[in-house]
Amino acid sequence: MATETHCPYCSLQCGMRLTGRRAPEVSAWEEFPVNEGALCRKGWSAAGLYGGRERITSPLVRDRETGEWSAVTWDDALDRVVDGFRAAQAAKGPDGVAIFGGGGLTNEKAYALGKLARVALGTSQIDYNGRWCMSSAASAGIRAFGLDRGLPFPLADVEEADVLVLVGSNLAETMPPAARHLDRLRERGGRVVVVDPRRTPTADRADLHLQPVPGTDLALALGLLHLLVAGGAVDEAYLAERTTGWEQVRDSVAAWWPERVERVTGIDAHEVRALAAMLAGSPRVMVLTARGAEQHSTGSDTVLAWINVALALGMVGRRGAGYGCLTGQGNGQGGREHGQKADQLPGYRRIDDPAARAHVAGVWGVEPDSLPGPGRSAYELLDALGTPDGPSALLVLGSNIVVSAPNATHVTSRLESLDLLVVCDIVMSETAALADVVLPVTQWAEETGTMTNLEGRVVLRQKAITPPSGVRSDLDVIAGIAERLGSTASFPTDPEEVFAELGRASEGGPADYSAITYDRIRAEHGVFWGGERLFGESFAHPDGRARMLAVEHRGAAEQPCADYPVHLTTGRVLAQYQSGAQTRRTRSLPDDGPFVELHPLLAGRLGVATGQSVRVATRRGQMTAPARVVATIRPDTVFVPFHWVGANRLTNDALDPASRMPEFKVCAASVAHA
């Protein structure tokens, strides 16, 4: 009998069927509305995760003297973990222990992890890799709309737009089943605009492709708004009725003439005018941002600038129009709603809100005053590890930090400075290889749990196969640690029981899951929290109005100079996912390794041809990889995919002041024949 479940990878959470108890086979689940049976190459290959010889099936401890690993019992491993945590807290207080979670963990795990930190350990030091995914869009959404839900409408609404502007998204390559909506939009006569420094497979489908200098998307939005104001295209009635702050925003774009936009972004002024004219004449304009716009030290202001464009046109809340963010990780949305984020409690509540603390403490059976306050953001937490004021023990779940952290050489040295590093994983990832204790856990089809996809649709991944003996679920690990720490709070290990508790803890919060059950999810093909479409009548601020906030172009933290004369940008390729810990081990997916994409003009100056080795260096490190000479990238920019060790040794750890998002997407680099 087939089990209906969802892909282990990206935020689309495509539905699929699995058959077979040991070596599952993937087949289409046509009735699931998000992907209608379509899957990308990663989804079709997902079952290849099983049967790999690299699977860890016993807890392992590493001898620091010899570097050798030994298999130990679960009791021994968990005792060692808890002894280490106690020692760290005895030396440094409750914040001596930190937790680093992941945007691919189920809602139940994210919730239990937050509870483990705040109740059993009493530490404020918890954050997760979703901070590096869409925190800039989340921060901007909360400020502008009073609420952050990546897409406040079903993805299929894209088809109803007359103009779709994709800013920094390559969805045709990163989530191919979603590209059908672009095709249907164009079949209807709608137009697609892509803003991206590279001509990607998504840009190939566009009616207009603008190729800005990396890090200048904000200036383009200011210039568009300038032209919309000058052309009388803004919706004054909507602005008066549904927003505040318009006058300041209008005044802030007065000097953004197209020629100034051209100087900053490198986009021809006539193309800026062409896009503004397209927007001005269209009844339904939709703007979607993704990591290309958001992973910047100006990421949240960039998103606010594009939200201002959508609001000024009166589009937000209108069907087939508005603003949304395309989340990346599988549970990028749910992962930030249930308490594994440094500043949040379950239900997307602020941890410094007394009413939220009282409610959640009541569900957990503890005193509100016993809960710690906000902790450090993801990069700041890693940067503090092993320092006199920072944690000396770290528990990692669902993250491969050594590959995915910015300025990764520095972060790796911080991990190496710890007294105790504990990693839960399925294989010996690059991060697990540094650990003192590795705990082997179940994954994807071996367990049940909910995910919240990029639309805010809560879906159910159902257990389809029997896990290998020797592994335990993350929920078991969390409960085992809590019990050994002597916590009096309960830590259930049945996912449905955890989900019910999560629902109670989230009740009344911005992301309220209290009316969602496993049975409803099964019956309804997923359940949207907050409703299918948001903002039709009002926004989530107390007065119901959206906030328009004036923002300024500042540019990237690093600009090209004599030593580092080009821009470096990073991103994904079709066959790999995130740090590659799973997809690089899936035999049916090609693993060609990293490469350096550069323009023929730059390659000619360097005397480099495709396939030859080039060295890319930044102020933080260097890497060597084969060149790919392509005319689809700006001549002043090079691109490296981030699925392998290397790219993030180069990236910049400059943080966005509001979201604490590192500037993954652009830094200054040098390139040379290796």
Q: Name the site residues for ligand SF4 (rule: CB under 6 A).
A: 7, 9-10, 12-14, 35, 39-40, 42-43, 175-177
C-alpha closest to that of 645 among 397, 295, 402: 402
Q: Are 46 and 444 in contact (CB under 8 A)?
A: yes
For residue 363, the cross-strand partners are none
DSSP 503-539: HHHHTTSSS--TT--HHHHHHHTSEETT-SS-SSS--
Q: Which is nearer to ligand SF4, 50 or 364 (CB)?
A: 50
Instruction: Please say which residue, 133 or 210, places its beta carbon nearer to ligand SF4.
Output: 133
Minimum distance from residue 16 beta carbon to ligand SF4 (Å): 7
Cα–Cα distance measured from residue 525 to residue 509, given in angstroms and rounded to the nearest whole number: 24
Shorter beta-carbon distance to ligand SF4: residue 9 or 85:
9
Instruction: Output 7 or 304, the one with its CB closest to ligand SF4.
Output: 7
Cβ closer to ligand SF4: 46 or 307? 46
- CB of 446 closer than 8 Å to CB of 467: yes
CB atoms within 10 A of CB 369: 8
Cβ-based nearer residue to ligand SF4, 342 or 573? 573
Q: Least separation, in Å, of the C-beta of 586 and ligand SF4?
A: 12
* 36, two tokens: 């209608």
State the minimum distance, in angstroms, from the CB of residue 255 to ligand SF4.
Answer: 42
Measured in degrees and rounded to the nearest 5, phi and psi for residue 374 equal -65, 145
Instruction: Give the torsion sign (CA, 50, 53, 59, 63).
Output: negative
Minimum CB distance to ligand SF4, residue 496 (Å): 23
CB-nearer residue toward ligand SF4: 392 or 443 = 443
The token pair at 84 is 């280490």
Maximum distance among all Cα pairs of the chain, rounded to whole angstroms:
72
Closest approach of ligand SF4 to the CB of residue 159, in Å:
17
Separation between Cα atoms, residue 498 and residue 485, nearest integer Å = 20
Q: Distance between CA atoms of 134 and 595, rounded to whole angstroms?
A: 25
Least Cβ distance, residue 295 to ligand SF4 (angstroms): 19
As a dihedral over the C-alpha atoms of residue 193, residue 197, residue 198, residue 204, rounded to 10 degrees, the angle is 10
Closest CA to 503 of 458, 542, 540: 458
Cα 90 to chain centroid distance, Å, stands at 34
How far is residue 228's CA from residue 280's CA, in Å, rounded to a whole number?
7
Nearer Cβ to ligand SF4 (146/641): 641
Choose between 123 and 399: whose C-beta lies nearer to ligand SF4: 399
- The residue sitting closest to ligand SF4, measured at its beta carbon, is 43
Q: How far is the CB of 330 from ligand SF4 (least distance, A)?
A: 7
Residue 43 beta carbon to ligand SF4: minimum distance, rounded to whole angstroms: 2
Least distance between ligand SF4 and beta carbon 209 (Å): 22
Distances (CA, A) of 330 to 5, 57, 583: 13, 24, 14
Phi–psi pair at 172, nearest 5 degrees: -65, -25
